[in-house]
Amino acid sequence: MATPQMVTDAKGIVKVYGSTEAVRGVDLQVSKGELYGLIGPDGAGKSSIMKIIAGVLAQDAGDVRVFGTSIDSEASAEAVKSRLGFMPQGLGLNLYADLSVEENIDFFAKLRLVPSAALKQRKAELLSMTRLKHFKDRPMKHLSGGMKQKLGLICSIIHEPELLILDEPTTGVDPVSRRDFWSILHSLIQDRGITALVSTAYLDEADRFTRVALLHRGKVLLQGTPEEMRRSARGSIVSVRAEPSDEAFERLRAWTPQIERRGDSLRVFVGERFGQEAISEVTEKLSSFRIESAEATDPDLEDTFIALLRRDEAKPAAPSLISRERSVASAALAIEARDLSRVFDSFRAVDSVSFQVRSGEIFGLLGANGAGKTTVIKMLTGIIPPSSGSARVGGIDVAAAGGSVKTRLGYMSQAFSLYQDLTVLENLRLYAGIYGISGARAKRRVDEILDMADLHVFLNQLSGRLPMGVRQRLALGCALIHEPQVLFLDEPTSGVDPLGRRSFWEVIYRLAREKGVGILVTTHYMSEAEHCDHIALMYAGRAVEDASPAELKARLEKEVGRILEFSCADPYRAVELLGTNGFSGPALLGSRVRIFSKSPDADLVGIARVLALAGISHGEVRERPFTMEDVFVHRITGLEQEGAA
């Protein structure tokens, strides 16, 4: 068997910024034709590694070779740049805001010396593939996040590079645009033979890659195929529903630290146990509880990542972050939106949105980029007035109350809301002063927040130097310093590592259940949507769904049947064949193919027949449960198709 041609060969890369070692002895080899993934949270070292390979940042130690050329000087970096395409992190950061879609493409083509004849053909193909041809005259600054990323991709490949380097191209992009982006990238790799090195903070994107490297704090924790990596976490995930749920959670957490709430289930990692044996071990720990259901599944990559972190860093179980004092259950409304609308000039950003959030409830507001979520939050918090409709928060009419409503709510925005040159303690004291809290009450609240968010060890550190997960806990603490009845969280865990996200969500859960805080959250992590008691799904400024996650998944199953999924030798061709043979919704997910099926038994036979006639071998076909991402993508895609029609 021929040895694959090495496109990138990096050994012992080190990069230091001041006293921070951002990259610590990383080895990385990428072969021709691979789609290689660097996966890890903010601060893992992904961007530094990609910039070093792209030749725009010098390493402090180690050897980097690209196409066999040692990248050890500006001259050697320039020698290979014509064969590279590099897209930096951030929505549209490599683009020009005032230029149109077509003008941006033409500019990058001229920069890359693309001949006019070749440009015309390539531009037409890429605009059609990305569905941007109808927007070619629109200024970049007026594009949605997903459209900016697709335009950035076109500008990065207009000169047909051999190696494409994409730094977090899907961060901040909604699930529909993410799937669209991946489909385009897979097609480019398949049809044009491009090699791609892509970074992402989304662990659920791992199956898109040929091979992946899991990064944390500048080191590689694990490398290999997604399947190899999942097997490294030996054990099972047991999802159990037990009553009373809160007490069951505490019992299991005393036994194992790797546990999370997921909707009305508790999700537990059981090491070195599989199937029924794992279930029996969990149910034995809950022998005094009423167990309604229990099932065992294989760990996903997030479970693997967390297991590796706990093994390497020996993290203890998280402390109970909020006192066990319980609030009296309340049917009072924390938030009420009635026919809220907001018009900017002739653009209707929010169109007659209505929903209710009860005290002690976690409410998810989901939608694609530009759906109107942030505008709704700004109206509910009094930052901008509605064009029509009304909003009540904590029982107060927002429009009539003016600034006084702010004493009843906490708001954690997408933007970093802390003062980076102040310490943790100074930030908390500053926010206490902003809300008019002083004296003994201020000291009590600061101490309570430090306990709640487990921040004592960071007390005198500058907030700008904190790990992302710790910063987010501090930002949450600042939003809670005045004990609000209602909490707004706008993309609160973007870029936070999985361990930090789970810890953050446990705080949120306890705030709702034990303190009776009404919580409204927006997120692009669809696994986080499972934590919500209720969800409103927004599209084009309207609320198009309003139900619990379980209800939304049940509606989808009733509409499309079950999900069948399998791996095969030629997934691109398999998707095409299944589509032409009448199977419902064939789609590619990395090396796996999936369809919707209302008759699973018949479709199992049909899949085998179609693929056998084409000479395509495939693995076992399995049913897979629906996720909130399935719900989101199917519903929003359907609405987009209706709009196009």
Looking at the domain covering 234-298, what would its CATH class be? Answer: alpha beta
Query: Measured between alpha carbons, how far is 534 from 210 in angstroms, rounded to an integer?
Result: 36
In which band, very low, low, confident or very high, does the pLDDT at 329 lie, cut at 50, 70 and 90?
A: very low
- From residue 247, give the alpha-carbon distance in Å to each of 254, 401, 516: 11, 40, 18
- Do residues 532 and 521 lie in contact, with contact meaning Cβ atoms separated by under 8 Å? yes
SS3 category, 587: strand
Q: How high is the pLDDT of residue 644?
A: 67
How high does pLDDT run on average in the chain?
88
The CA dihedral of 629, 634, 640, 645, to the nearest 10 degrees, is 170
Q: How high is the pLDDT of residue 300?
A: 84
Q: Assess whether pLDDT exceeds 70 at residue 427.
A: yes
Highest mean pLDDT: which range of 58-62, 91-95, 191-195, 510-514: 58-62
Highest mean pLDDT: which range of 7-11, 86-90, 482-486: 7-11
Q: How high is the pLDDT of residue 147?
A: 86
Query: Measured between alpha carbons, how far is 172 from 146 in angstroms, rounded to an integer?
Result: 9
- Do residues 236 and 273 lie in contact, with contact meaning Cβ atoms separated by under 8 Å? yes
- From residue 161, give the alpha-carbon distance in Å to each of 18, 34, 68, 131: 34, 14, 16, 21
Q: How high is the pLDDT of residue 89?
A: 83
Token pair recorded at residue 41: 């949270």
Assigned architecture for domain 6-226 = 3-Layer(aba) Sandwich (3.40)
Q: How high is the pLDDT of residue 316?
A: 42
Token pair recorded at residue 168: 């977090």
Percent of the chain with pLDDT over 70: 95
Q: How high is the pLDDT of residue 328?
A: 39
In this chain, the answer to whether the domains covering 234-298 and 333-547 adopt an identical fold is: no
Q: Assess whether pLDDT exceeds 70 at residue 83.
A: yes
- From residue 23, give the alpha-carbon distance in Å to each of 49, 55, 158, 543: 7, 16, 31, 44
Provide CATH code, domain 556-644. Answer: 3.30.70
Q: How high is the pLDDT of residue 499?
A: 76
Query: Measured between alpha carbons, how far is 376 from 426 in angstroms, rounded to an integer?
Result: 31
Q: How high is the pLDDT of residue 330?
A: 53
Rounded to the nearest 10 degrees, the angle between the axes of helix 145-157 and helix 101-111 is: 30
Percent of the chain with pLDDT over 90: 53
The answer for 612, left when phi > 0, alpha when psi is -120 to 50, beta otherwise, is alpha
DSSP character for 289? S
Q: Assess whether pLDDT exceeds 60 at residue 2.
A: no
Q: How high is the pLDDT of residue 321?
A: 40
- For 5, other C-beta atoms within 10 Å of its C-beta total 11
Q: How high is the pLDDT of residue 309?
A: 77
Strands (E), 548-591: 562-567, 584-589
Q: Where are the domains of the chain?
A: 6-226, 234-298, 333-547, 556-644
Query: Measured between alpha carbons, how far is 41 from 498 in angstroms, rounded to an integer?
Result: 8
Token pair recorded at residue 363: 């409410």
Rounded to the nearest 10 degrees, the angle between the axes of helix 468-480 and helix 424-434 is: 20
Q: What pLDDT, in 10s, does the model give residues 99-129?
A: 999 999 999 999 999 999 899 999 999 998 8
Closest C-alpha to 256, from 271, 242, 274, 243:
271
Provide CATH code, domain 333-547. Answer: 3.40.50.300
Q: Which of 33-42, 307-316, 342-351 has the lowest mean pLDDT?
A: 307-316
Q: How many CA atoms lie within 13 A of 404 on its CB side?
A: 8
The three-point CA angle 365-512-507 to 5° equals: 95
Alpha-helix runs per DSSP H in 24-174: 46-54, 74-81, 101-111, 116-129, 145-157
- From residue 381, give the alpha-carbon distance in Å to each of 132, 336, 337, 353, 357: 35, 12, 11, 15, 14
Q: How high is the pLDDT of residue 325?
A: 42
Q: How high is the pLDDT of residue 327?
A: 43
Q: Which of 135-149, 207-221, 328-342, 434-448 has the lowest mean pLDDT?
A: 328-342
* Dihedral sign, Cα of residue 609, residue 611, residue 615, residue 619: negative
Q: What pLDDT, in 10s, does the model give residues 14-68?
A: 999 988 899 999 999 999 989 999 998 877 899 999 999 999 999 999 999 999 9
Which residue type sits at 565? Answer: E
For residue 270, the surrounding DSSP H or E stretch is: strand 265-271
Mean per-residue pLDDT for 508-517?
88
Alpha-helix runs per DSSP H in 260-363: 276-285, 301-313
Q: How high is the pLDDT of residue 267?
A: 92
Q: Assess whether pLDDT exceeds 50 at residue 319.
A: no
For residue 349, the surrounding DSSP H or E stretch is: strand 347-358
Q: How high is the pLDDT of residue 4?
A: 65
- SS3 of the chain: helix, strand, coil, percent, to 5: 40, 30, 30
Q: How high is the pLDDT of residue 416?
A: 60
Q: How high is the pLDDT of residue 323?
A: 40
In which band, very low, low, confident or very high, does the pLDDT at 314 lie, cut at 50, 70 and 90?
A: very low
Mean per-residue pLDDT for 128-133?
86
The answer for 320, left when phi > 0, alpha when psi is -120 to 50, beta otherwise, is beta
Q: What pLDDT, in 10s, does the model give residues 602-640?
A: 999 999 999 999 999 999 998 988 888 899 989 988 888
In which band, very low, low, confident or very high, does the pLDDT at 318 lie, cut at 50, 70 and 90?
A: very low
Residue bearing the bigger pLDDT, 618 or 177:
618
Q: Assess whether pLDDT exceeds 70 at residue 312.
A: no
Q: Which residues of 382-413 are buried (b: 16+ CB within 10 A; e: fewer)?
A: beeebeebbbbbbebebeebeeebbebbbbbb
Mean per-residue pLDDT for 189-197?
88
